[in-house]
Amino acid sequence: MNKFVIAVYVDNKFGVLTRVTSMFTRRGFNIDALTVGETECPEYSRITICLSGDGYAREQLINQLRKLHNVKKVVVLKDDSIKRELMLIKVGYDSQTRAEILAASDVYRGKVIDYTTDEMCIEVTGDPSKIDAFIKLMIPYGIIEMCRTGIVALDRGNVTLLDRIKDKTK
Amino acid sequence: MKLSGAEIIVRTLIEQGVTDVFGYPGGQILNVYDALYKHRDEINHILTAHEQGASHAADGYSRATGKVGVCIATSGPGATNLVTGIATAMLDSIPMVAITGNVPCSLIGKDSFQEIDITGVTLPITKHNYFVNDVRELADSIREAFSIAKSGRPGPVLIDVPKDVQIAECEWEAQGASPKIPLPKASEDEIDEAVRLISASKRPYIYIGGGAAGLGLGSEIVALAEKINAYIGCSFMGLSAIPDGCERFLGMQGMHGRYPSSMAQNSADLILGVGVRFNDRATGNLQKFAKGATIIQLDPDFAEINKNVRVALGIVADVEDSFRRIAAKLSPADNPEWRATVDSFKREEARLFAAEEEKAAGRLTPKAVLDIINSHKPKGTVLATDVGQHQMWCAQYATFDRPRRIVSSGGLGTMGFGLGAAIGARVATGDTTVLVTGDGSFGMNLNELATCVSHSIPVIIVIMNNGVLGMVRQWQTLFFGKRYSSTVLTDRRTDFVKLAEAFGAVGMRATTREEFESAFVRAVELNDTVVIDTYIDKDEFVLPMLPPGGSIDDIITEKEVSEDE
């Protein structure tokens, strides 16, 4: 089982995300995470999909995505692509654990964005594995609530996916 | 010129070359029906008995001609009644455009009377669909829908139009019919690789599917088979691609395929798949399917390559062009051993047929019904079927003198498909149309007899009446210890002859070969809607059979179950 990150440019239209996710359900693809948002071009949205699976699953997913009318470009991002995820995590503390949590947050370059008498909310950004590690670190202190955005990712270099849309092949 | 949305819909359909539409009116599509009334000299609307019938008619219209079939329905139940027909078209890659009305935009999302999110419902069963909430996007959505429906791998497209959009006005100018987007051509390297693989084979098998059935490649495929000593088989959807009486054509393969065809495919060392998707009913157990064969797949849909079977070479391009270029580059080859092997399969089939015929002792068997139809049907006859045993018997025994002469639900296996589809095929071609059906399937949508009668659309309906749901019963006999749960229909006591007469059609009954022959001949002469109720034995089996999940090693060719119950 490998992990893949797939970037998809779709028409920025009502209902397109449903078309994509409904296809996953009906074809039985198991998605780890999915994010969607605006791009440098208002006509298109960019969907970033994380998938665990073998080469067959990856090929099928890409092929089925490419068949959707509103999908303009599908690219498997390279292993060295820039991947980032943001997490908000609320952790309980007391006088003994406060310093430890703050130190850990510092090491992970987290930001404390809310602070009450018995809990603090930390924002952490980074590679998904870094987020996973931070969560593991916080478990003993008592995670009250947490929320991850899922990955956004870009390939390195000055080539954009939009350039590749113009070559007309999905 | 400034036109209403309803007027735009009808004029854009006319612009797209549509001459016939099938549908059923209702509250939220009334404006479109008003425009259809106005344009009734340019576009022929056929009112069916049920929206499902309209969807199957649009499908049958398309299957028989290759044109885009069109159906129209109102919102809510009208729209949901199209669903089975749309799904049927989707699974068999049939180009179709469905137009539905919906409640005005201001009532959308409020669970209004007869409101349904039909674009949501049909998302997984359309190639694409549109909810048009702005009249300015209406004409182009319809144009794009036609282009999507017929381009690449064809399929159904639905356009949902709220009532206020049908009323709103905007500028409209006629354009030409939307073009079919051309498919890419295979590269020289791909063609050369295919030629190399085929040239290296000793036992080639050309496997024709629905993607090739309508292309008119039949005689070229036969010519290639003769040149390189290949044999030809087809999937269910590939039926009618190869003209009758060709000794290279072994018929349908697969779960209920003809013995020589399935055996040859599994003995081949090379399979050239032409527009075929290696469906589970065709392959059986994939681990054991055609183990010794190198597979080449020509298909317009890249997602079909390596989906079900691993292929040595997949060429995603215009199938017709790829086939012709490969054929042109191949040199003649012969292998007497391959011919001898296939001849032995053919002899075995002949032996099985003879044994069956002897057992029948002159009774009216399914094969006898089809032999009689084959020998008395006029040239160009369209054969429509429903789903079940009778469908498989048609696939095994019916002959076709040109492509697009079979109209039958393959992928979805839709019982109740046949009569609506036969109506569509008859309207599209004007050729004699015979529906072979079963008492189970016919019971599902026989209301469309009213459509045949009211629109003078003559369809000859042959009911293979065995008083049971035969295909399910066959499985119950083989795999469920003869526990015939809900498959016996004899308690219904439907008199199909009286039923036909009640609808204003002609009813006939046939219990022997002679009676059926004279009834069928008379039906052809009558040029009217005729129901011929024929009786076959409830324990007839469709054979050969590869059990579900089985392989060619498990093929059942003779009925060995005891007759006692």
pLDDT digits (tens, 9 = 90+) for B403-443: 999 999 999 999 999 999 999 999 999 999 999 999 999 99
Average pLDDT, chain A: 92
> Is B118 touching A (CB cutoff 8 A)?
no
Q: Is the CB of residue B538 less than 8 Å from the CB of residue B489?
A: no
CATH 3.30.70.1150 fits A82-148, yes or no: yes
A15 touches chain B (CB under 8 A): yes
Distance, CA of B371 to CA of B529 (rounded, Å): 21
Q: Do A60 and B307 touch (CB under 8 A)?
A: yes
Q: Which domain holds residue B298?
A: 188-342
Q: How far is B127 from chain A (nearest CA, A)?
A: 8
> Domain segments of chain A: what residues?
2-80+157-166, 82-148
Mean pLDDT value of segment A64-76:
95
Active site residues of B: 51, 113-114, 163, 471
Strands B169-171 and B2-4: antiparallel
Tell me the pLDDT tens digit for each residue of B290-348. Answer: 999 999 999 999 999 999 999 999 999 999 999 999 999 999 999 999 999 999 999 99
Same domain for B20 and B135, yes or no, is: yes
Tokens describing residue A97: 């654990």
Q: Do A18 and B302 touch (CB under 8 A)?
A: no
Phi then psi dihedrals of residue A146, to 5 deg: -150, 160
Distance CA B210, CA A142 (A): 60
A129 touches chain B (CB under 8 A): no
Report yes or no: B148 at the A interface, CB cutoff 8 Å.
Answer: yes
Specify whether the CB–CB gap between B129 and B159 falls below 8 A: yes
Q: Is the CB of B124 less than 8 angstroms away from the CB of A66?
A: no
Instruction: Give the pLDDT confidence score for residue B544 in this predicted structure.
Output: 96
b/e per residue, B505-544, with b = 16+ CB within 10 A?
A: bbbbbbeebebbbebbeebbeeeebbbbbbbbebebbbbb
Residue B463 lies in a domain: yes
- Assign residue B380 the CATH number of its domain: 3.40.50.970
B119 touches chain A (CB under 8 A): yes
Closest to A83 in 3D by CA, of A44, A127, A141? A127
Helix H or strand E encompassing A121: strand A119-126
Token pair of B180 as six digits: 């079919």
Tell me the C-alpha distance between B127 and B116, whole Å: 20
Local confidence band at B243 (pLDDT 50, 70, 90 cut-offs): confident
Q: Is residue B358 part of a domain?
A: no
pLDDT at A169: 65
Q: Is B131 on the interface with A (CB under 8 A)?
A: yes
Instruction: Tell me if B543 is assigned to some domain.
Output: no
pLDDT band at A162 (very low <50, low <70, confident <90, very high): confident
Q: What is the DSSP string of B299-350?
A: ES-GGGTTTSS--SEEEES-HHHHHHHHHHHPPP---HHHHHHHHHHHHHHH
Supply the pLDDT for residue B214.
Answer: 86
Query: What number of C-beta contacts closer than 8 Å exist between A and B?
Result: 26
Using an 8 Å CB-CB cutoff, list chain A residues near B132.
Answer: none
Q: What is the mean pLDDT of residues A69-79?
A: 93
CATH topology of domain A2-80+157-166: Alpha-Beta Plaits (3.30.70)
Contact B68, B95 (CB under 8 A): yes
Helix or strand holding residue A154 (H, E):
strand A152-154
Which residues in chain B touch residue A15, judged by CB atoms under 8 angstroms apart? 119, 131
A69 touches chain B (CB under 8 A): yes
Q: Is the pLDDT of residue B561 over 60?
A: no
- Phi and psi torsions of B101, nearest 5°: -85, 160
Number of domains within chain B = 3
A60 contacts chain B (CB < 8 A): yes
Condensed to tens digits (0 to 9), the pLDDT of residues B500-510 reads 999 999 999 99
Tell me what percent of the residues of chain B surpass a pLDDT of 90.
Answer: 97
Are both B40 and B131 inside the same structural domain? yes
CA distance B81 to chain A (A): 21
- pLDDT, tens digit, 9 for 90 and up, residues A8-35: 999 999 899 999 999 998 998 888 999 9
| Residue from the list A19, A23, A59 with its beta carbon closest to the beta carbon of B306 | A59
Exposure of B19 in the CB half-sphere (CA atoms within 13 A) = 8
pLDDT band for B166, please (50, 70, 90 cuts): very high
Place of tokens 């839709």: B414
Contact B211, B319 (CB under 8 A): yes
Residue B507 belongs to a domain: yes
Interface test mutation site (partner A, options B123, B137, B305, B311, max chain A beta carbons within 10 A): B123
What's the pLDDT score for residue A2?
86
B128: contact with A, CB 8 A cutoff: yes
Chain A CB contacts of B127 under 8 Å are 69
Residue type, B198: I
Q: Are residues B370 and B517 in the same domain?
A: yes
Beta bridge partners of A5: A50
| B453 pLDDT tier (thresholds 50, 70, 90) | very high
Question: B136 is written with which tokens?
Answer: 């300015």
Cβ separation B148–A69 shorter than 8 A:
yes
Same domain, B264 and B194: yes
| CATH assignment of the domain containing B229 | 3.40.50.1220
- As a whole number, mean pLDDT of residues B115-140 equals 97
Q: Is B557 left (phi over 0), alpha (psi -120 to 50) or beta?
A: alpha
Using an 8 Å CB-CB cutoff, list chain A residues near B301: 67
Report the chain B residue with the minimal C-alpha distance to residue A22: B124
pLDDT of B565 > 50? The answer is: no
Residues near B61 by Cβ (< 8 Å), separated by ≥ 6?
A: B20, B22, B67, B69, B424, B425, B427, B428
User: Do both B313 and B458 map to the same domain?
Assistant: no
Task: Say yes or no: B17 and B158 in one domain.
Answer: yes
For chain B, give the mean pLDDT.
96
Whether B216 and B165 map to the same domain: the answer is no
Whether the bond between B77 and the residue before it is cis, its omega within 30 degrees of 0, is no
A19 near B CB under 8 A = yes
In this structure, the answer to whether residues B232 and B335 fall within a common structural domain is yes
For residue A158, the distance in angstroms to the closest alpha carbon of chain B comes to 29
Contacts of A59 in chain B (CB under 8 A): 306
Whether A19 sits inside 8 A of B123 (CB atoms) is yes
Q: Is B66 inside any structural domain?
A: yes
What's the burial of B184, exposed, middle or buried (CB within 10 Å: 0-12/13-18/19+)? middle
Q: DSSP string covering B111-144, please? A: T-TT---HHHHTGGGSSEEEE--SGGGHHHHHHH
For residues B478 and B506, membership in a common domain is answered with yes
Q: Which residue of A has its CA nearest to B126?
A: A68
| Residues B303, A15: C-beta atoms closer than 8 Å | no
Other C-beta atoms closer than 10 Å to the C-beta of A61 total: 23
| Residue closest to B185 by CA, chosen among B328, B299, B318, B300 | B318
Residue B143 lies in a domain: yes
B359-414 pLDDT, tens per residue?
A: 999 999 999 999 999 999 999 999 999 999 999 999 999 999 999 999 999 999 99
Q: What angle do CA A138, A141, A147 make, to 5 degrees?
A: 45
Bridge partners (DSSP) listed for residue A90: A121, A145
The reply to whether A2-80+157-166 and A82-148 are identical in fold is yes
In angstroms, how far is CA A85 from the centroid of its own chain?
A: 5
Element containing residue A91 per DSSP (H, E) = strand A82-92
Question: Stretch B541-561: mean pLDDT, rounded?
Answer: 90
Q: Do A18 and B120 touch (CB under 8 A)?
A: yes
Do residue B419 and residue B514 come from a single domain?
yes
- The residue among A25, A27, A67 with the most chain B CBs within 10 A of its CB, best to mutate, is A67
Contact A59 B131 (CB under 8 A): no
Please check whether residues B417 and B311 belong to one and the same domain: no
Angle at A165 between CA A164 and CA A170, to 5 degrees: 100
